[in-house]
C-alpha cells in the first residue's frame, strides 16, 4: 500500500527503509527540508504517520515487510534511489540476527531488480571483512554490503564507527555507565582506538551522497576528527556532564559475555543488543581513507562537541529518535482478529475499573505520562523488580524509559512495553516486550459515562505458551487486584479528581480492538 503523493511533489521520490529507526527517523525530515520527495517504508503506515514530519507535502508512505519481495518492489516503483538503513540486531531477532539480515538483503536485491532501482545508499559498520578478529556483528554488516552489490543498482556504502547522538545505543551506554559508576572495572577493549562520529555528520554524508552522483558505486569511511580510546570518551563525557573524574581499571578477566550482562544491568540497552556491540568494540575502528571529505565537505564535530550537543538534547527533552524506536507495532493476531480459543490457545484476561469524576480529556494526560520517570502510579518497586528480572534474562527492563515524558505516539516504548494503539483520550494499548512464556497486552480505556464522569478500566491479557505460560499467569494473578486497583487510584490522584465508584474487578468481554464498528 502506497499513499498518494502530495500535489507538487517531485516525480522521483527517494525511498527510505528503516524510516522509524534511529538514523532513518532523522534522515527523512532532513531530506524533506532539502526539497526531496521521500517515500518512507515501514511495516506500519500508522506508525509512520505519527512522526512529526508525516504531514509534510512531499512525504509519502509505503507499507511493506522487507521479507516480502512483491510488496517491497511495489514500494520501490517510481523511485530511483533507496536508502538501506535496516538491521536486525535487536532483542527479538536473537542469535540469528545475521541470518535475518542476510535474508532481508537478498530480498532487497531481488526487489530492486524488479523495480528498476538505479542507486542504493547503505550505512554499514567500520571494519575490514578480511580481519580475522572482526566481530560477528561487523562481519554481518560487511556481508550485507556484499549482497547489496549483487543488485544492478549502483551501491554507495558509508562505513561508520561509533555514532554519537542523543538516543543512540552507543551514547546511552556511555551516558549510563559514566553517570552510575564512579569506579569501573572494564575489559581491555576500553583502550581500543576509534573515531566516533556525530549523528548530524552521518546524516549530512547520507544526504550528500544522494546529491553527489559521483559517489555512486563507491565505498567510503566516515569518521569524526578525533582518534580516541573508549576510556578517553568516558573521560570527556564526565567532564561535559560535570561529573567527578571516573576511575577506570581495565582487567583481563571480563569476557564479552560477562561484560554484556553487566551493561544489561546498568544501562537501558538489553543484553542481546549489548553483546554484539561489545564484541564490535574490540576491533580498532579508524578510517583508512578520507576521500568523502573532498566530495561532501562539512564541519566535523569533535567527540566533545557531539557529547555536549547530545547532553543538551537530553536536558531539553528534545531527543528526535531513540535506539529503541524501531519496534513492532502490529497488534497481535490473537487480539486483532478475534480468533476462537481453539485456534491458538485460551487468552487469559482480567479486568479492573473505577469511575472518576472527570472528563476523559482531564484524565488522559496522566495516562499519557505512564512509564519512564513518572512510573506506574502504584507498586513501582514491584515494577522495578519485574524489570530487574527481565534484565537478567536479556530483556529491555525498565531502564529503557520513554522517548518523551508527556508526548505519546504509536510505536513508542514505555519501559518494557510498546505502544501498539493510541487513541487520545479514550484508548491506550500496550504490548509487552519483556521476556515471558507468552504474549501480554495491557489495555487502558476511558469511557465517558456522563458529562462529568468517566469509567477508567485496565484489562491485562495474556496468551500463554505451554505449561510454563499457564504457571506464569497464575503466579502473578494474585497480585492483579492489588496492583491494578492501586494504579487506578494513582491515576485518579494524579488527575486531582475523586473516584466515585470502585475500583472493582469485572469480567471483560471481547477485546475492544476486535469489535467492528456498530457491532457490540
- Give me the CATH number covering residue 230: 3.40.50.720
Is residue 218 within 8 Å of residue 307, measured between CB atoms? no
Residues 6+ apart with CB under 8 A from 44: 63, 329, 330, 410, 411
User: For residues 174 and 194, what is the distance between their CA atoms, to the nearest angstrom?
Assistant: 14
Quick one: 495 and 385 in the same domain?
yes
Answer left, alpha or beta for residue 502, where phi above 0 means left and psi between -120 and 50 means alpha: left
Q: Are residues 308 and 356 in the same domain?
A: no
Q: Do 304 and 386 fall within a single domain?
A: no
User: Is 409 domain-assigned?
Assistant: yes
Which residue from 445, 484, 487 is spatially nearest to 352, judged by alpha carbons? 484
Which of the two residues, 273 and 25, has the higher pLDDT score? 25
Q: Are 235 and 246 in contact (CB under 8 A)?
A: yes
Does 4 score more than 50 pLDDT? no
d(CA 421, CA 407): 14
**What is the model's pLDDT at position 172?**
82
Please say whether the beta carbons of 196 and 233 come within 8 A.
yes
Q: Is residue 298 part of a domain?
A: yes
For residues 430 and 436, give the distance between their C-alpha atoms in angstroms, rounded to a whole number.
Answer: 15
How far is C-alpha 409 from the chain's CA centre?
A: 13
Last residue of a domain, which of 262, 291, 315?
315
3-class DSSP state for residue 330?
Answer: coil
Its pTM stands at 0.71
Q: How does pLDDT run across 323-364, given as a tens digit for each residue?
A: 555 555 455 555 544 443 433 457 899 999 999 999 999 999
Predicted confidence (pLDDT) per residue in 41-86, tens digit: 988 888 788 788 888 999 999 999 999 999 999 999 999 999 999 8
Contact 195, 188 (CB under 8 A): no
Q: Which residues pair with 62 in a beta bridge?
A: 2, 41
Assess whether pLDDT exceeds 50 at residue 165.
Answer: yes
When pLDDT is averaged across residues 408-414 and rounded to a whole number, the result is 85
Task: Identify the domain containing residue 410 by its residue range.
Answer: 348-509
Same domain, 254 and 106: yes
Q: Are residues 305 and 411 in the same domain?
A: no
Mean pLDDT of the chain: 84
| 113 and 58 both lie in a single domain | yes
Give the CATH number, domain containing residue 378: 3.30.530.20
Cell numbers standing for residue 165: 547522538
Same structural domain for residues 292 and 402? no
Residues 488, 493, 499, 505, Cα dihedral to 10°: 10
Residue 327 placed within a domain:
no
Amino acid at each position: 500500500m502506497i499513499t498518494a503523493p502530495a500535489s507538487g511533489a517531485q516525480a522521483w521520490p527517494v525511498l527510505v527503509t528503516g524510516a522509524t529507526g534511529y538514523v532513518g527517523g532523522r534522515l527523512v525530515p532532513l531530506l524533506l527540508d532539502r526539497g526531496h520527495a521521500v517515500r518512507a517504508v515501514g511495516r506500519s503506515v500508522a506508525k509512520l504517520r505519527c512522526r512529526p514530519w508525516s504531514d509534510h507535502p512531499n512525504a509519502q508512505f509505503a507499507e511493506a515487510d522487507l521479507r516480502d519481495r512483491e510488496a517491497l518492489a511495489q514500494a520501490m516503483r517510481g523511485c530511483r534511489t533507496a536508502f538501506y538503513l535496516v538491521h536486525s540486531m535487536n532483542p527479538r531477532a536473537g542469535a540469528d540476527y545475521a541470518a535475518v539480515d542476510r535474508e532481508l538483503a537478498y530480498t532487497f536485491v531481488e526487489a530492486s531488480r524488479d523495480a528498476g532501482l538505479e542507486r542504493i545508499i547503505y550505512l554499514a559498520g567500520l571494519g575490514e571483512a578480511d580481519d580475522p578478529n572482526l566481530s560477528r556483528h561487523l562481519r554481518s554488516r560487511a556481508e550485507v554490503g556484499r549482497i547489496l552489490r549483487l543488485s544492478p543498482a549502483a551501491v554507495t556504502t558509508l562505513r561508520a564507527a561509533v555514532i554519537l547522538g542523543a538516543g543512540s545505543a552507543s551514547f546511552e551506554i556511555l551516558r549510563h555507565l559514566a553517570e552510575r559508576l564512579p569506579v569501573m572495572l572494564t575489559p581491555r577493549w576500553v583502550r581500543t582506538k576509534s573515531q566516533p562520529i556525530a549523528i548530524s555528520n552521518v546524516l549530512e554524508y547520507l544526504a550528500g551522497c544522494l546529491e553527489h552522483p559521483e559517489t555512486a558505486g563507491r565505498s567510503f569511511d566516515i569518521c569524526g576528527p578525533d582518534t580516541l580510546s573508549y576510556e578517553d570518551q568516558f573521560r570527556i563525557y564526565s567532564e561535559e556532564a560535570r561529573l567527578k573524574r571516573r576511575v577506570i581499571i581495565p582487567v583481563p578477566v571480563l569476557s564479552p559475555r560477562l561484560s554484556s550482562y553487566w551493561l544489561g544491568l546498568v544501562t537501558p540497552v538489553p543484553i542481546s543488543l549489548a553483546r554484539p556491540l561489545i564484541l564490535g568494540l574490540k576491533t580498532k575502528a579508524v578510517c583508512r581513507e578520507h576521500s568523502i571529505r573532498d566530495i561532501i565537505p562539512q564541519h566535523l564535530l569533535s567527540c566533545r562537541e557531539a557529547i555536549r550537543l547530545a547532553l543538551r538534547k537530553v536536558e531539553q527533552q528534545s531527543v528526535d529518535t531513540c535506539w529503541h524506536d524501531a519496534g513492532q507495532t502490529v497488534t497481535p493476531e490473537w487480539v486483532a482478529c478475534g480468533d476462537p480459543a481453539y485456534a491458538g490457545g485460551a487468552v487469559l484476561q482480567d479486568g479492573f475499573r473505577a469511575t472518576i469524576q472527570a472528563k476523559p480529556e482531564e484524565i488522559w494526560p496522566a495516562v499519557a505520562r505512564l512509564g519512564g520517570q513518572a512510573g506506574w502510579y502504584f507498586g513501582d518497586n514491584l515494577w522495578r523488580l519485574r524489570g530487574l528480572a527481565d534484565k537478567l534474562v536479556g530483556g529491555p527492563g525498565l531502564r529503557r524509559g520513554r522517548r518523551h515524558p508527556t508526548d505519546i505516539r504509536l510505536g513508542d516504548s514505555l519501559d518494557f512495553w510498546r505502544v501498539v494503539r493510541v487513541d487520545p483520550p479514550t484508548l491506550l494499548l500496550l504490548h509487552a516486550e519483556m521476556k515471558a512464556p507468552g504474549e501480554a497486552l495491557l489495555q487502558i480505556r476511558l469511557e465517558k459515562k456522563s458529562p462529568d464522569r468517566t469509567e477508567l478500566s485496565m484489562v491485562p491479557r495474556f496468551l500463554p505458551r505451554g505449561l510454563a505460560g499457564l504457571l506464569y499467569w497464575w503466579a502473578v494473578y494474585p497480585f492483579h487486584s492489588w496492583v491494578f486497583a492501586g494504579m487506578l487510584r494513582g491515576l485518579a490522584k494524579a488527575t486531582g479528581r475523586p473516584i466515585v465508584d470502585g475500583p472493582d474487578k469485572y469480567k471483560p468481554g471481547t477485546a475492544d480492538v476486535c469489535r467492528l464498528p456498530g457491532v457490540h
